[in-house]
Structure 1
Amino acid sequence: MTSSKKITTRIPMLRESDPQRAPACACGIKLDISRQRLTADEFRDLAVFAGEKGLLEAHRAMVDGAVVNEAEHRQALHTSLRAFSAGAPRYTEVLAERNRLFAFAKAVREGRWRGCRGDRITDVINIGIGGSEMGPHAVWHALQTARPDLKLHFLASVDGVLLERVLSACNPRSTLVVVSSKSFTTRETQVNATAVDQWLLDNGIVGADRSRHMVVVSANPEAADIMCLPPENAFRIWSWVGGRFSVWSSIGLPLAVALGTEAFTEFLMGANEMDRHSVTAPVEENLPAILALMEYWNATKMGVTSHCLLPYDERLRVLVPWLQQLEMESLGKTHDPSGEKIDGVTGLAVWGSNGDEGQHSFYQWLRDGAGRTSIDLVWSEMPGHRYAEHYRVLLANVRAQAEALVARNSDSPYFNAVSTIVLDAVTPRRLGALMAMYEHKTTMLGHLFGINPFDQPGVELGKKLSQRAERGADPKALLAEVAGS
């Protein structure tokens, strides 16, 4: 497999050569790639290529605890965070922290942990950005009920407008604040935590009373001291967990509180089910491996430059920015771990929206514009509501678009390559499996492209530049230093 194959004017779809190919199914998820732009023979060649590259062997090594983050000399054991077997690496310490997390969440939900004046907790503010916000936000949006017992708010951007909106919706005496940051040095999180702390102070919550309203989640052992909180108010994550892979850890504490430990356990179990599928299924039936191979093919063979996620389910709307961070922060690199430049395309630009709304926004460009795009259409066989007519119309739309988006003129150099992903229901377990599937797709693509999907040097550079700019210095000087090093 090389990236030098010429793109022909007529681009076949898999179903033309293999019309009987059944969708791949696992963990309540059905993946249909028959609208992708390759023949059955080319798909079989891709499976052989995956074997030659040792794709599944590398994936199993990651799950078993190999050092795969070469830049930081670390393991990447997000799969251990949702393990239920003592054979998983670091299982004992993960289970101990999970038990602490669950005990705290139950105490809040059952009214045993209350505010400093005895008020029952009704609102939770999650202060965190990037991986400390996107995963929990996507899960909350998917699984919250119409009238939740506890309301969960997200304070990520360092924008006073958002701060005011969040605080105005909460009563400080019945609010729990969760400050989440792996390093506990993220500037946006520091600024927001200070502002919310001042809000508590302004409302008479000071000294020891603060400990009833604020906890921290971090890999930094000094996080509690930094926030002047007792050690028991700190929940642990680990350096071997990447932020964008961390929703399964104590970063999910707000979810365990707001949704309940039973739902959060189901969420973990669904991800664990996908983990077991990913290390046991042959590549031709392996959902994340198939997705990774399709994206690799589209990027290196088909000249595709972007990947569009189109969920036809309101509950899955926030998966779009979550996947955007997951793939683009992991795969947005052009050098291998040794620093050598990679020849050819690596990760794609990820974008999208709620699919039904997108039809009236950018589908015209997808349908007739001058682009090559890979698309995931995602929907559920079970609606999350009781309105039969709404679901009938929505389902008709997504099925129609699955055909319309690939019905381009065969002589056109522009096209879409479409996969459909159908969940049997949007439940905590199925959502966990879906998100784990995309995680595995991303790390497998890192192996195929020859890059490290677990570091983010571009992000770190941006942080350094912003810190220098905040001090009034010229960030261009730092760029000159980096260029000269």
Structure 2
Amino acid sequence: MKYINPVNTKSWNILKDHFNKIKNIHLRDLFLLDPNRFKKFSIFLENEILVDFSKNRITENTLKYLLDLAKEMNVKDAIKLMFSGAKINKTEDRSVLHIALRNRRNFPIFVDNKNIMLDVNHVLNKMKDFSDSVISGQWKGYTGKSILDVVNIGIGGSDLGPYMVTEALRPYKNHLNIHFVSNIDGTHLSEVLKKISPETTIFLIASKTFTTDETITNANSAKIWFMRYSKDKSSLDKHFFALSAHIENALNFGINIKNIFQFWNWVGGRFSLWSSAGLSIILSIGFNNFEKFLNGAHTIDNHFYNSEYEKNIPIILAVISIWYTNFFGSETEAIFPYDQYMHRFSAYFQQSNMESNGKSIDKKGQKICYQTGPIIWGEPGTNGQHAFFQLIHQGTKLIPSDFIVPILSHNNLRSHHIKLISNFLAQTKSLAFGNIEKSFFKKSISIENNIKCILNKKDENFLFKQCIGNQPTNSILVRKITPYNLGMLIALYEHKIFVQGHLLNIFSFDQWGVELGKKLAKDIYENISNLEKYESFDSSTQGLINFYRSFYK
């Protein structure tokens, strides 16, 4: 496939001209001009998820031109390449096949002439058997007691994904207590160890390479803590498990070969929750629910692969994002789930998007002259409304936002859910239209002079209360947060990220910036550990090291 600079395409230049024509049109006007706007700019998928993108600063022509860009950039060909097992992660010479992990139709997918579905299904069956034995109480610890607690030790995708999903699907959880340890700060592990008993706890060490410093440091400390009680090395076999692509490293740590749940180099860390890295999810909700989770994602994979551009939700969401970052100059996108169980959803896609598309070099190795991935952030509604929504309503920044809400709640407590839905609808409406009535305005004079005209000394604080609106949002309504629907929702965002990366002509599936930080941390650790003064860094870093060491003389 050819690597295309999007700025050099015909579609990009058409979009530039089009942007200059419509950039000042208000959402209020777009809705007044077209009473059928909602119908034209929304898609109801599988009777489960409605995506309404009508409150975006786009016209029918805008969407056409954006989709023309996707066509000119051969997005459909890129999708086919990923699904075929082609090594689209060029800098690491790897395929990108998280879609294989939820391939419920079990069609063959080949990597290096091998049908990887045989290995995928083998590991799935192994996870099913193990999780069934733990949940049923048949798996015993070293003193013969059943397991009550599961500690997942990982970081990045090996933590954020499983943690987000187990929280989002808490209504489906069983009796097992699931704990997550990620931070190398000893406080994180110490606080978890206070809550558990070595006799009734299993540890899942999740690391693709099994060399990640934070994870292995925490795992070693957990092992030392455990051995203080069991005093028998063989007892590790009943309590320690590896979720990794590197079996040899797991064996060297002391994990029994039977306790290693493999995943593969073609699974990106931030997309690994579908693999054995999601074993904590299975232990939390059971394998049957995990299968429904996979099925939901597979439904979106089929939608993404088969749907035409005009009905393809990930493609539409991706091109709208490009529209804001590269034409309006917005720098951030917010995700607001109006569901408390989904309180880690924004954080998970913060990593998925920013680690994927936070690049400044294109696929040809050239410096990029346009904007790549946006900053992703967010919190659950309605908490965010009382924290930072003020800036979105009345600040100086354009912040496109996704609002996600379940129609049906797991907890029908009095009027709570109707009030939640009301807030969700009120925020998207007020962000779009503001609080200044259309009838107040005369086209012949500026907005500022119009506002002065309607003050009329009736409210001296009017200027401070005005909300201009015109802030774009997507509304995503989910029938209910079930394993199946959550799988659909996650896959929608994953594929949006893929399309964004392709349109931006960058490699989305490496993260060399993260690797640099790991290497420097190792060098600095060696410097700090050296009792003799050893000058090797810039004056600031070395000064900070020396100051830190002065407290440990």
Same fold (TM > 0.5): yes
The answer for the alignment partner of 1:246 in structure 2 is: 272
Deviation at 1:362, TM superposition (A): 0.3
Contact 2:171 / 2:410 at 8 angstroms: preserved in 1?
no
2:491 is the alignment partner of 1:436:
yes
Q: What amino acid maps onto 1:358 in structure 2?
A: G
Work out the CA distance in 2 between the residues paired with 1:2 and 1:48: 9
Residues 35-64 of structure 1: CA distance to partner in whole angstroms, max 9, x if unpaired?
Answer: 101111111221222212111221122112
Which segment drifts farther, 215-224 or 143-152? 143-152
> Could you say if the C-alpha distance between residues 236 and 183 of structure 1 is closer, same or farther in structure 2, counting changes exceeding 3 Å?
same
Q: What amino acid maps onto 1:120 in structure 2?
A: S
Work out the CA distance in 1 between the residues paired with 2:479 and 2:73: 33
The answer for the alignment partner of 1:446 in structure 2 is: 501
Among 73, 83, 102, the alignment partner of 1:63 is 83
Work out the CA distance in 2 between the residues paired with 1:337 and 1:460: 19
2:479 is the alignment partner of 1:420:
no
Q: What amino acid maps onto 2:301 in structure 1?
A: D
Residues 231-255 of structure 1: CA distance to partner in whole angstroms, max 9, x if unpaired?
Answer: 1111101011100011000001111
Contact 1:124 / 1:150 at 8 angstroms: preserved in 2?
yes
The answer for the alignment partner of 1:20 in structure 2 is: 36
Q: Percent identity?
A: 34
Contact 1:121 / 1:174 at 8 angstroms: preserved in 2?
yes
Q: What amino acid maps onto 2:262 in structure 1?
A: R
Work out the CA distance in 2 between the residues paired with 1:254 and 1:475: 41
The answer for the alignment partner of 2:49 in structure 1 is: 29
Q: What amino acid maps onto 2:480 in structure 1?
A: A
SS at match of 1:452: coil
Residues 175-230 of structure 1: CA distance to partner in whole angstroms, max 9, x if unpaired?
Answer: 01000000111100011001111110122253111110110011112133222122
Work out the CA distance in 2 between the residues paired with 1:385 and 1:205: 45
Q: What amino acid maps onto 1:401 in structure 2?
A: Q
Root mean square deviation, CA, Å? 2.0
Contact 1:142 / 1:315 at 8 angstroms: preserved in 2?
yes
Among 213, 224, 227, the alignment partner of 1:201 is 227
Deviation at 1:416, TM superposition (A): 2.1
Contact 1:128 / 1:156 at 8 angstroms: preserved in 2?
yes
Deviation at 1:160, TM superposition (A): 1.8
> Could you say if the C-alpha distance between residues 146 and 2 of structure 1 is closer, same or farther in structure 2, counting changes exceeding 3 Å?
closer
Q: What amino acid maps onto 2:348 in structure 1?
A: W
SS at match of 2:92: coil
Work out the CA distance in 2 between the residues paired with 1:364 and 1:328: 25
Contact 1:263 / 1:428 at 8 angstroms: preserved in 2?
yes
2:25 is the alignment partner of 1:11:
yes
Q: What amino acid maps onto 1:270 in structure 2?
A: G
The answer for the alignment partner of 1:174 in structure 2 is: 200
Map 1:57-456 to 2 at 5 A. 57-89=77-109, 90-145=116-171, 148-408=174-434, 415-456=470-511
Work out the CA distance in 2 between the residues paired with 1:161 and 1:415: 44
2:485 is the alignment partner of 1:466:
no
Deviation at 1:411, TM superposition (A): 5.5
SS at match of 1:419: strand
Q: What amino acid maps onto 1:461 in structure 2?
A: L
Work out the CA distance in 1 between the residues paired with 2:108 and 2:492: 19
SS at match of 1:405: helix
SS at match of 2:230: coil
> Could you say if the C-alpha distance between residues 337 and 414 of structure 1 is closer, same or farther in structure 2, counting changes exceeding 3 Å?
farther
Q: What amino acid maps onto 2:52 in structure 1?
A: D
Q: What amino acid maps onto 2:416 in structure 1?
A: H
Work out the CA distance in 1 between the residues paired with 2:92 and 2:379: 34
Work out the CA distance in 1 between the residues paired with 2:167 and 2:205: 19
Work out the CA distance in 2 between the residues paired with 1:164 and 1:140: 22
Work out the CA distance in 1 between the residues paired with 2:290 and 2:481: 14
> Could you say if the C-alpha distance between residues 9 and 145 of structure 1 is closer, same or farther in structure 2, counting changes exceeding 3 Å?
closer
How many residue pairs align between the two structures? Answer: 478
Residues 279-310 of structure 1: CA distance to partner in whole angstroms, max 9, x if unpaired?
Answer: 11111111111111110111111111100001
Work out the CA distance in 2 between the residues paired with 1:145 and 1:475: 51
Deviation at 1:87, TM superposition (A): 1.8
Q: What amino acid maps onto 1:364 in structure 2?
A: Q
SS at match of 1:308: strand
Work out the CA distance in 2 between the residues paired with 1:59 and 1:191: 38
Work out the CA distance in 1 between the residues paired with 2:506 and 2:348: 21
Contact 1:335 / 1:342 at 8 angstroms: preserved in 2?
yes
Structure whose residues are more often helix by fraction: 2
Residues 71-104 of structure 1: CA distance to partner in whole angstroms, max 9, x if unpaired?
Answer: 1111100000011223241211111111111111
Which segment drifts farther, 109-118 or 303-312? 109-118
Work out the CA distance in 2 between the residues paired with 1:39 and 1:16: 12
Contact 2:173 / 2:285 at 8 angstroms: preserved in 1?
no
Contact 2:430 / 2:469 at 8 angstroms: preserved in 1?
no
> Could you say if the C-alpha distance between residues 411 and 237 of structure 1 is closer, same or farther in structure 2, counting changes exceeding 3 Å?
farther
Deviation at 1:355, TM superposition (A): 1.7
Q: What amino acid maps onto 2:339 in structure 1?
A: D
Q: Is there any run of 5+ residues in structure 2 with no aligned partner, and where?
A: 1-10, 110-115, 437-445, 449-467, 528-533, 542-553
Q: What amino acid maps onto 1:400 in structure 2?
A: A
Contact 2:174 / 2:286 at 8 angstroms: preserved in 1?
no
Contact 1:266 / 1:428 at 8 angstroms: preserved in 2?
yes
2:12 is the alignment partner of 1:2:
yes
> Could you say if the C-alpha distance between residues 16 and 241 of structure 1 is closer, same or farther in structure 2, counting changes exceeding 3 Å?
farther
Contact 1:12 / 1:38 at 8 angstroms: preserved in 2?
no
The answer for the alignment partner of 1:482 in structure 2 is: none
The answer for the alignment partner of 1:49 in structure 2 is: 69
Contact 2:400 / 2:472 at 8 angstroms: preserved in 1?
yes
Contact 2:157 / 2:272 at 8 angstroms: preserved in 1?
yes
The answer for the alignment partner of 2:550 in structure 1 is: none
Work out the CA distance in 2 between the residues paired with 1:268 and 1:386: 27
SS at match of 2:88: strand
Q: What amino acid maps onto 1:241 in structure 2?
A: V
Which segment drifts farther, 105-114 or 261-270? 105-114
SS at match of 2:405: strand
